Structure 1
Amino acid sequence: MLALADALSRRADGGTPVRITCLGTARGMETRLVPARGYDLRLIPPVPLPRKPTVDLLRVPTRVWRAVAETRAVLDELEADVVVGFGGYVALPAYLAARRGGRGRARIPVVVHEQNALPGLANRIGARLAARVAVTAPGTPLHRAEHVGMPLRRALTSLDRAASRAAARAEFGLDADRPTLLVFGGSQGAASLNRAAAGAADALTAAGVQVLHARGPKNTDVTVPPRPAGSAPYVVVDYLERMDLAYAAADLALCRSGAVTVAELSAVGLPAAFVPLPIGNGEQRRNALPMVEAGGGFLVEDADLSSDWIGSTLVPLLTDPAALAGYARHAAAAGVADADERLADIVLAVAR
């Protein structure tokens, strides 16, 4: 959402008048992130949909009606010309409010963007109501889907990993010239990745591979004993504020395969060993497939991930510069660096 907002703001700087208001809920990260980027934020009631038939399901229609009414009031106040939705708790009320009309105004056109290869319920409904439907992954099963990629921050899409590598490694206390593995499991970390990577610390560092490992802020039990003098570093941090520096420092990532993660890695040309989250509807495995099939990474099931697997599979790759370079080229070829501009084109065309 914010990457699109930034792209539209750049159009405004070029003479196209654009006013941007973001919708969110009081429980989301948007309450911190949106104002920090300088955008107006309006809050509406969230409408979570129960995954199983429960008594709570009976309350959904009332919640949806209330959220739609409040959202429509915001749209009328703003005299909105277009609504762009990315799925989630606020998307469905926004789609329905835009199509409802009100105060003598016509329906407001909708643009849907789906980040996952397997869409959620809100966007499956929204796609049927939308003027245009954009998707991150080719082959996403949505009505009239157009492949545009994932809108990303310019700090990532303009990243020159080779030029930034030495400074990025110095930032994390890593050696300038050693092959580097980046381990992360999302903002909260991932227990299986933490166990496997920490367990493989000796095998990695003995082979001359250094590690930057984001364990997650609550996983303080994940530690690695100090390395012997002259050994490759193993750096453990709670959280990575600057993912662009982490990507620049790394030669290979070991990570989950959320849609944003896959899009960022392909955009910067960083190959990865993807470990899809073993719960849900399988969307993480589908997210990774385009990059894997392009030769920019590979998949390992969560149940198969172990310190032995890292030692037998990742260590040989990390110590083979030619193989790493090949994976990096294929990863970059699978990425879309200008998805933010492509989606901005669609949004402005619909608004006009």
Structure 2
Amino acid sequence: MVSGSGRVGSVVLAGGGTAGHVSPLLALADCLRRREPDVRIVALGTEEGLEARLVPARGYDLAVVPKVPMPRRPSAALLRLPTSLRRAVDAADDAIASADAKVVVGFGGYVSTPAYLAARRRGIPVVIHEQNARPGLANRLGSRFAAHVAVTFPGTPLRGATVTGMPLRREIALLDRPGRRAEALAHFGLDPQWPTVLVTGGSLGAQRINDAFRAAAATLRTEGVQVLHVTGAGKDFTVDDDDAGAPYVVVPYADRMELAYAAADIVVARSGANTVCELTAVGLPAAYVPLPVGNGEQRLNAQAVVDAGGGLLVEDADLTPGWVESTLVPLLRDASALAEMARVAASVGERDGDELLADLVVDAAGKG
């Protein structure tokens, strides 16, 4: 690992569109600011991505770059690509010049390719961070001339990569689950006498997961398993509220995910890179349900922790009320098995991904 001493001065961070790109971008920005309070940070993003709201809310400047999807097959969009890409590269170049950036850090996604190309044109060092076990198009391109390539998972096929793990929010990375459990249960109206399942499909929710647990709600309550179900915005539902059985709490989203993690004994979730890294960092067992569409990256994201014994892999089609009753409920009754899964999950987790990535950024800036 490179040395973390030195100053950055000014940095442009490129990544947006989804929480998978924006969350590590903000975690790195926070880390750089902790190290260097007067560092100048400008984030590149689009007008419609999550970054348009989250970056300014966190106190960082946002420069807008036109969205340039990369067509994967012949189409009219492919014919327009050179003009669209040139416009986006020019916008990224303007932001880099205005910030007097000493280094550009990209997290993949629509705005990263223009940022990488603009930085290369100016001779400014590039650092990339790839969140997923299977890299995206932008980071495959950027890795060819990057000063440093950071990856979340070992085995990610990018040449010369350094495994840093995922930059995480400090409230997650520093979470003391046992120490916060009582506070967490009270926050969500849960009862300390019951084992707790956290169910989440991410900010947008996951219909398969929502449907399976909604149908199994009565069984779970009767079996003495309480549930904190984060459905996704606009997808919440009502569970019969009677005095019989364990609580089943439904919320559309959770602003305090660190408390949701502190309350849980096990999690049922999709296996996006950020989710896998947060759960292993805090030592939470999980049943991972990879998205059944896409390039298979979610299965790869969860593979290492599942192979080690810190989680289960459940096919999307197999996540049914029957699975909840036959597999999940017995597991919640086996405290020793859950404790061992938690220990293994923590052993493959990384809590200092932000610091390790910041070391690479500082090094690149110093060599710029």
Q: TM-score, normalised by structure 2?
A: 0.91
Residue aligning to 2:325: 311
- In structure 2, which of residues 34, 48, 65 is the aligned counterpart of residue 44 of structure 1? 65
1:202 aligns with 2:218: yes
- Alignment partner, residue 73 of structure 1: 94
Q: For 1:41, give the aligned amino acid.
A: L
Q: Does 1:211 align with 2:227?
A: yes
Query: SS at 1:20's partner residue?
Result: strand
- Choose the corresponding residue for 1:133, options 136, 149, 162: 149
Distance across 2 between alignment mates of 1:218 and 1:51? 32
Q: Is 1:5 equivalent to 2:29 in the alignment?
A: yes
The aligned amino acid for 1:9 is R
Take 1:177 and 1:61, find their aligned partners in 2: how far apart are those partners? 61
Moved >2 Å (runs of 4+): 50-53, 222-226
2:132 to 97, 116, 123: 116
Q: Distance in 1 between matches of 2:48 and 2:29?
A: 21
Unmatched tracts of structure 2, length 5 or more:
1-24
How many Å separate the matches in 1 of 2:41 and 2:314?
41
C-alpha distance in 2, partners of 1:210/1:179? 6
Structure 2 residue 38 is matched with structure 1 residue 22? no
Residue identity matched to 2:302:
A
Q: Which amino acid aligns with 2:294?
A: G
Structure 2: distance between partners of 1:219 and 1:282: 25
1:34 corresponds to? 55
Structure 1 residue 170 displacement after superposition: 0.8
Letter in 1 for 2:75: T
Aligned partners of 1:132 and 1:217: how far apart in 2?
37
**Which of 308, 330, 343 in structure 1 is aligned with 2:344?**
330
Write the mapping of 1:268-347 to structure 2, written as runs, cut at 5 A: 268-347=282-361
CA distance in 1 between partners of 2:278 and 2:258 (Å): 9
- Aligned: 1:172 with 2:188: yes
TM-superposition CA deviations, 1:20-72 (whole Å, max 9, x none): 11111111111111111111111111111234322111111111111111211
Q: How much has 1:223 moved relative to structure 2?
A: 3.5
| Alpha-carbon distance in structure 1 between the residues aligned to 2:275 and 2:216 | 23
Distance of 2:134 and 2:300 partners within structure 1:
7
* 1:78-157 to 2 correspondences below 5 Å: 78-101=99-122, 107-157=123-173
- Preserved CA contact (<8 Å) 2:196 2:226: yes
Distance 2:312 2:344 in 1: 12
Q: Give the 5 Å matches for 1:257-276.
A: 257-276=271-290
Q: CA deviation at 1:212?
A: 0.4
The answer for the alignment partner of 2:238 in structure 1 is 223
Instruction: Show the counterpart of 2:254.
Output: 240
In structure 2, the residue corresponding to 1:181 is in which secondary structure?
A: strand
1:191 and 2:215 correspond? no
C-alpha displacement at 1:266, in angstroms?
0.5
Structure 2 counterpart of 1:66, one-letter code: R
Which piece of structure 1 moves more, 204-213 or 274-283?
204-213
Within 2, Cα distance between the matches of 1:52 and 1:178?
A: 52
1:104 is matched with which residue? none
Identify the range of structure 1 (194-203 vs 323-332) with the bigger mean alpha-carbon deviation: 194-203
Shift of 1:230: 4.0
Say if 2:309 and 2:341, in contact at 8 Å, map to a contact too: yes
CA RMSD in angstroms comes to 1.1
Structure 1 counterpart of 2:163, one-letter code: H
Paired letter, 1:231 = G
Q: Which runs of 5+ in 1 are unaligned?
A: 102-106
Alpha-carbon displacement from aligned partner over 1:223-262 (angstroms, at most 9, x marks no partner) = 3222x41410011111111110110110000110000000
3-state SS of the aligned residue for 2:128?
strand
